[in-house]
Structure 1
């Protein structure tokens, strides 16, 4: 036994708190994962005007679900235009579901324009 493991000639055992810390960290990580939720986007569809498209995304879980839904819709629009060698020009956005812990949705109308 090393000198750091002894105190006045008595061996110290790990405290109860030290033994519980790994469990606490795992529990916190699991809770954060559940609250963070995930966002998903639907397929890009054509709108009523030529060269105008619509994409919807939704997210649930936590206070910032609306932000994850918005980000996912913007990413889907950007990716859609990028695959065509163009850039997205975002238009009107409609948000649904602003209550806490409710599923939130973002629907964005956009156009693809040549890159400058």
Structure 2
């Protein structure tokens, strides 16, 4: 049983966790920013990117629109450090 618990703990530490901020209004009307971060492993940047993109998409979809990303800023490249993604986006009508 101890071996199983140790294996589960080791896997959980490699997966890490991800979190995001609330969407905030940008400097210009109709622009927004959301940031996300993730830790644990070399692919943490991908989880941070995916979470930020999903938050932007969900925000616009809740308003019956679609998201359009204008810029993404990423940070963190070393394994086992916090990786982050900040996405600037706009919501546009669906065509």
Q: State TM-score, norm by structure 1.
A: 0.75
CA shift digits 1:22-49 (9 cap, x unpaired): 6545433321111101111101111111
2:26 equivalent in structure 1: 47
2:80 equivalent in structure 1: 101
2:63 equivalent in structure 1: 84
Aligned residue for 2:56, secondary structure, equals helix
Supply the distance in 2 between the matched residues of 1:77 and 1:39 (Cα, whole angstroms).
15
The offset of 1:115, in angstroms, is: 1.4
The two structures, once aligned, show a CA RMSD in angstroms of: 1.3
Which protein is bigger by CA-based radius of gyration? Answer: 1
Name stretches of at least 5 consecutive residues in structure 2 with no aligned partner: none
1:61 equivalent in structure 2: 40
**Structure having greater relative contact order (Cα 8 Å, sep ≥ 6):** 2
Supply the distance in 2 between the matched residues of 1:26 and 1:61 (Cα, whole angstroms).
19
Q: State TM-score, norm by structure 2.
A: 0.91
Q: Report which stretch shifted further, 73-82 or 26-35.
A: 26-35
Q: Which 4+ residue blocks in structure 1 deviate beyond 2 angstroms?
A: 22-30
Name stretches of at least 5 consecutive residues in structure 1 with no aligned partner: 1-21
